[in-house]
Structure formats: C-alpha cells, structure tokens
Amino acid sequence: MNNIMIGRFVPGESLIHRLDPRTKMIGTFIYIFVMLWANNWQTYLWSAVFVVGLIKFTGQPFKLYWDGLKPIFWLILFTVILQLLFTPGSPVLWHLGPLSVTVPGVVNAIYVMVRFVLIILMSTILTLTTPPTSIANAIESLLGPLKKIKVPVAELALMLSIALRFVPLLMDETQKIMNAQKSRGMSFSTGGPIKRAKAIIPLLIPLFVGALQRALDLANAMEVRGFKDAVQRTRYRILHYDRNDYIAFFTIVFFVIIFFGIKIVTGL
C-alpha cells in the first residue's frame, strides 16, 4: 500500500519540479486526451518514449514509478481480461461458450493495458513533482473564469487538494494498522477468500475512526486559522510562467504534432 504514488509529493530540484503547476496540469490533460486517439503500435511507442523522457527529467528513479503501478496491477489485469474475452472479430484463437479470444481482442487488450499504464505514469509525474497546495492553486487559477457564474472554484480546488493529500495518508495509516494486527498474530495472507475477507474487518473500524479524527483535526485547524467560504484570500506564492514553462508548452505541442503525424503517415 505504501507503494501507491498518486497523491504523494517527492521534493526535488529537477526541471519538472520547477515548472509552474498550471503547465504540468495542462500538459497532463492534453496527454490524456491525445492518448484516447492512439490506435496503433507506432503512436503508443511514441507516447511511451515521451513519458519515459519526462520521468528521466524528474530526476527520480524509474523504479519508483514502476512500484507505484503494483498496487493497481489487479485492476489493470481485470480490464485486460475483459477486453481479451469480449472483443469480437476474427480469426478466433480460442472459444468456449459465450467467451472467445480473437486476434483483435489480443491486440485491443495490449493497447488498453499500455494506455492504462501510460496515463497512470503521466498522472504520477504530476503528483510526485507538485505539492498539493500548488495543485489547488493551479486548479483555482485555471478555473478562475467560472467564478463569474458563481462556481465555488476555490472550495473545489481545496477539496481536490485535500483528497489528493489524504490518499497516501490513509494508505500509510492502513499499513500501520496491518503491522499492529500482525504483531498480535493476525494473518492477512492465509486461509480462503472468506477468512481473508473477515481479516479485513479489524482494519476498517480503526481506519474509519482515524480518518474521521483527521478530518475533525483538519476542520478545527482551518477554523482556528480563520478559514471562511467565499472570501478572497491572498497567496504567499504567486504563480507565474517563465522561460521553462514556454519550453514545456513547445514540447507538448511537438509531442502532439508528431503523434498525429504518425497517425496520418500510418493511415490510421
């Protein structure tokens, strides 16, 4: 559980760390949108090269990102199996009742897995190199025009940043409770599925109690510091674009141009 990287921030002095959070958020959204158009191995290869290059620029080991994929391995595997068994087409490689494995199904399953992994890696780059407060400030800045139609942008940004911050906190808390239960003789890896499910119950109660206590402490801390809704607050750190951000935008545009250029050349 402590391998989950989404929501965690790792301090650093890399080029990606120094970018404006708005630049990283816009780049992440563009990348995810473009990935929806990937439909052949050439576009997936180019997308993978781009992500690996960004990971290199973060100055963090690739193993850190790879370990972050392990907790969601079963979700990826479940999605791949669905694509593998329920994608129609021919030729048919295996057939059993309503289930069948076809060549288009195999190809589609591989593409879905790669897309899943690349999108998660791109999102992890954003959260690993950007503090939650900066993410909240970036969201509030990008959604600023919605304030004119009375959308509570500041509150939405704050809620999202708190949610991102609580994900790794809850995972760490779960790991601590599991270690405490193991020290008392509890086993989470032996027995059948029913026994393992029952072993989770002693985890849930202290986890929910701890989460509620953290929420109450956070609410009290915000109230003591004078936090109020619908109040225009000043910022200690003012967001601004610099030369590195313009270079990053140019890099994103270059990625998009090459991506769609590959689609045009391959005729797909």
156 and 141 in contact (C-beta within 8 Å)?
no
| pLDDT higher than 90, residue 51 | yes
Question: Which amino acid would we find at residue 52?
Answer: V
DSSP state of 218: H
CA quadruple 30, 35, 40, 45: dihedral positive or negative?
positive
What pLDDT digit, counting tens, does each position of 77-97 carry? 888 888 888 777 777 777 777
CA quadruple 34, 35, 37, 43: dihedral positive or negative?
positive
What is the 3-class SS of 12-48, one letter each residue? CCCHHHHCCHHHHHHHHHHHHHHHCCCCCHHHHHHHH
Backbone angles phi, psi at 94, to 5 degrees: -155, 145
| pLDDT higher than 80, residue 263 | yes
pLDDT score for 79:
84
pLDDT score for 188:
67
Burial track 155-168 (b if 16+ CB lie within 10 A, e otherwise): eebbeebeebbbeb
Dihedral through CA 61, CA 62, CA 64, CA 65, nearest 10?
150
Q: pTM of the full predicted structure?
A: 0.76
pLDDT confidence tier of residue 4, bands split at 50, 70 and 90? low
pLDDT score for 23:
93
| pLDDT higher than 70, residue 230 | no
Q: Where are the domains of the chain?
A: 15-266
For residue 254, CA distances in Å to 31, 61, 258 come to 12, 25, 6
Tell me the residue length of the chain.
268
pLDDT more than 90, % of the chain: 22
CA 11/CA 128 separation, integer angstroms:
8
pLDDT score for 201:
76
CA 198/CA 192 separation, integer angstroms:
10
